[in-house]
Amino acid sequence: DQQVKQNSPSLSVQEGRISILNCDYTNSMFDYFLWYKKYPAEGPTFLISISSIKDKNEDGRFTVFLNKSAKHLSLHIVPSQPGDSAVYFCAASATYNNDMRFGAGTRLTVKP
């Protein structure tokens, strides 16, 4: 039942460079997409979202891109900072019934 897939379990980037995290989904009913960040021993915290009527949403260093035809979204972090090191979860929601599903997560390590 993997309706949301994050195929890269881990990503390592140098401080100051761009981090690109990818996510694919299969359910065409999903129309709202979110990214969460999770530190050890804490619950995930909301980072940024995008609705299906947009293809880009930006919030400071974080930008989410949505390609509906490819059922693909990505999170760009520019510039990456060591404090960004965490597990990032992609989530997709079908707003008609509030069904929200998550991917397996990508562990980002930003090296100083």
In sequence order, what are the beta bridge partners of 77?
A: 19, 62
Backbone angles phi, psi at 106, to 5 degrees: -130, 125
Least distance from other proteins to the Cβ atom of residue 15, Å: 26
Indicate which single residue of 9, 10, 55, 81 sits in contact with other proteins (rule: CB under 8 A): 9
Q: Does 89 bind other proteins (CB under 8 A)?
A: yes
Q: Does 95 bind other proteins (CB under 8 A)?
A: yes
Q: Which of residues 59-88 bind other proteins (CB under 8 A)?
A: none
Q: Does 101 bind other proteins (CB under 8 A)?
A: yes
